[in-house]
Every structure is written in structure tokens, then in C-alpha cells.
Amino acid sequence: MAVKHTPTNEVHSGTKGGKTGCGFDTKDHPEHWVNSHERITCDKNGCKNE
Ligand SMILES: [Zn+2]
């Protein structure tokens, strides 16, 4: 499962309402995050490795 950060178009591992693989909390700015099936583009630890 992936979650997209719409201001940057970066796709992270995780789901909306939880934390991304790299540690962002999607509840901080819920309007910035949407569930996605796109390929993960984040290259930080925890996202890239999944
Ligand atoms: Zn990430």
C-alpha cells in the first residue's frame, strides 16, 4: 500500500491515517495525503525498502 503526499507528488509506503514507512505522520496534514497505488518514489529508509 502506498500513500501520496500531494504537495510534492512523492509516494511513500503506508496508508492515509497512519505513518509512512519513513516516519511522516499523515494525520498532521491529512489534506496533503491520499491513498495511492502508484509506485513508491520516496527514497528514504522504510519506504524504499518495502
Ligand atoms: Zn517516505
Alpha carbon of 30 to ligand 1 centroid (Å): 15
Q: For the segment 2-30, what is each residue's pLDDT rounded down to a tens digit?
A: 999 999 999 999 999 999 999 999 999 99
If you write DSSP's letter for every residue of 3-14 in order, what string do you get?
A: EEETTTTEEEES
Read off the pTM. 0.92
User: 20 C-alpha vs ligand 1 centroid, how far in Å?
Assistant: 6
Q: Say which residue the cell 513508491 belongs to.
A: 40
Query: Which parts of the chain fold into alpha helices (H)?
Result: none
> 32-42: per-residue pLDDT in tens?
999 999 999 99
43 C-alpha to ligand 1 centroid (Å): 7
- Taking the C-alpha atoms of residue 32 and residue 8, their distance in angstroms, rounded to an integer, is 9
